[in-house]
Structure 1
């Protein structure tokens, strides 16, 4: 079983990035979750060779998966993943940004699925993701990044299903 450790801040240059996911905020401080098979997830995906950087990966994946446009993305940290099989550990990056536009639901260009989209207060996200302490720490750090860099200082308590899957 893999060991996953949360690390705040920038990624060491020698660490391979296998995933870039967003801890994405609405202007009223709620966070965006993707709904797939009645489970809550972050939106994001794997970097492609043509992506200029991690922010480009995140922006592309958010458009593909949930048809959401974001502003500038800021590094929150990464999950250090050790598969415990002799392979080199890798990073699963987490970035924070603010939603600029939510488009209509559309199929993911990778697999044709239409995902649900859900806005919820940051206090509910760790439980919905069900990632234990690692998930809690990511959300806590994302809220701090949102406060410092995105100007989000308050959080609506309202849940909103934007679209169901």
Structure 2
């Protein structure tokens, strides 16, 4: 009887570990919204974080901001432009959505994303107190990724 219980516990533990490894190997998708500098025009693009470049198809639209609500785009994506560009980050007026800022504004030709981040309310640290990865949209507080607007509407 004791052996059956121990074997069951080991099997459950192995199953749990497999789930964690599979989740870490899963390719994330960045859902990006490109915002024009001088008009309300926008376009959306879903980019798999597999390292492959994705053409935007908007070679004439000068983009000033890129919304990245579910992926750490500033650090994990490469934005190809026709000229040199300085990238920085800000939080949108909604107080939650992180944005990549392009200076000077210009067309984004391709986007390539690679790597993983931890979704909001996911664990920032594993059971050995080692960092799991950066938060996709927010910051790590008390072992969990929290949204930028902590406690504020």
TM score, norm. by length of structure 2: 0.26
| Higher alpha-carbon Rg | 2
Structure with the higher helix share, 1 or 2? 1
TM score, norm. by length of structure 1: 0.24
Q: Which has the higher contact order (CA 8 A, sep 6+)?
A: 1
